[in-house]
Amino acid sequence: MSAAILFWSITLAQVVLAAAMLVTIYRLIVGPRAQDRVLSLDSMYVVAMLLLVTFGMRVGTVIYFEVALLIGLLGFVGTVALAKFLMRGEVIE
Amino acid sequence: MSFDDIPLWVAILVAACVLTGAILTFAGAVGLARMPSFYQRIHAPTLGTSFGALGVLAASAILSSVGEGRFVAHEVLIFIFVSVTTPVTLMLLARAALHRDRVEGSSEVPAAIEKPIDQ
């Protein structure tokens, strides 16, 4: 009983998170400006991180958690670099 | 760890947390797609990074704690990091967008104050 509840709730959560990622990809394609695309990339890495956490819940190994932690660390750096680029036109001054 | 060893109330709690987190993240993504201007859109994904991440990460922490029989809370690291860094990135992005709009001479954003009032 609890196995069925866990399996189907995690599956449904993965479907909903994948739909959220598709919606952010829509914003990434439509734009209309560069800051909209950076914003959609920022929210996309958060959704990808949560999707990896749900995969880790399903499998029960630690490796998905570590990948999610790396995505959380490096996505921050990427968004800061892109925002800096939009502000100044170059990343390192 | 197999799912059959988990007690029923823990399974229901984990299911409620993970579904709430996923649905809130989806609501934030829909807000990102549907809001009319950039300065309104920048508010929507924070729903996913705050309460969406809280739900999914709490579900993962509860499930692994009960499954292994000891307190496992690595997920707190991810939540602390995401909730600390998201305001910084969104503030930088909003300032960059404001700067770009001002350089273009857009009439929708307020102009920069040339000389601060209180000096």
Helices (H), B1-119: 8-34, 38-41, 46-47, 53-68, 75-104
Segment A46-59, tens digit of pLDDT: 999 999 999 988 88
Q: Which residues, 6 or more positions from A51, have their beta carbon under 8 angstroms from its beta carbon?
A: A14, A17, A18, A21
Segment B30-46, tens digit of pLDDT: 998 888 888 888 888 88
Among A2, A38, A87, beta carbon nearest to B99? A87
Mean pLDDT on A12-36: 90
Most A CBs within 10 Å, among B4, B12, B89, B100, to test the A interface? B89
Please give the Cα distance from B97 to A32 (Å, whole number). 13
Within-domain flag for B8: yes
Asked if residues A57 and B60 have their Cβ atoms less than 8 Å apart, the reply is: yes
| DSSP structure class, residue B51 | I
Within-domain flag for B114: no
Among B22, B67, B92, beta carbon nearest to A13? B22
Within-domain flag for B46: yes
Confidence of residue B67 (pLDDT cuts 50, 70, 90): confident
> How far, rounded to the nearest angstrom, does the alpha carbon of residue B92 sit from its chain's CA centroid?
16
ipTM (interface predicted TM): 0.87
Within-domain flag for B65: yes
Within-domain flag for B115: no
What percentage of chain B carries pLDDT values higher than 90?
16
As a whole number of Å, the CA-based R_g of chain A is 16
| DSSP structure class, residue B113 | P
Within-domain flag for B112: no
Start-to-end CA distance of chain A, whole Å, equals 59
Closest to B82 measured CA to CA, from B36, B51, B105: B51
Asked whether the beta carbons of residue A2 and residue B4 sit closer than 8 angstroms, the reply is yes
Residue B66 clears pLDDT 60, i.e. is over it: yes
Most B CBs within 10 Å, among A1, A11, A15, A47, to test the B interface? A47
| Domain limits for position B15 | 3-104
Residue A90 pLDDT: 66
Looking at per-residue pLDDT, the higher value among A49 and A61 belongs to: A49
Mean pLDDT on B66-73: 80
The total number of structural domains that make up chain B? 1
Within-domain flag for B49: yes
Within-domain flag for B116: no
Asked whether the beta carbons of residue B97 and residue A68 sit closer than 8 angstroms, the reply is no
Asked whether the beta carbons of residue B29 and residue A36 sit closer than 8 angstroms, the reply is no
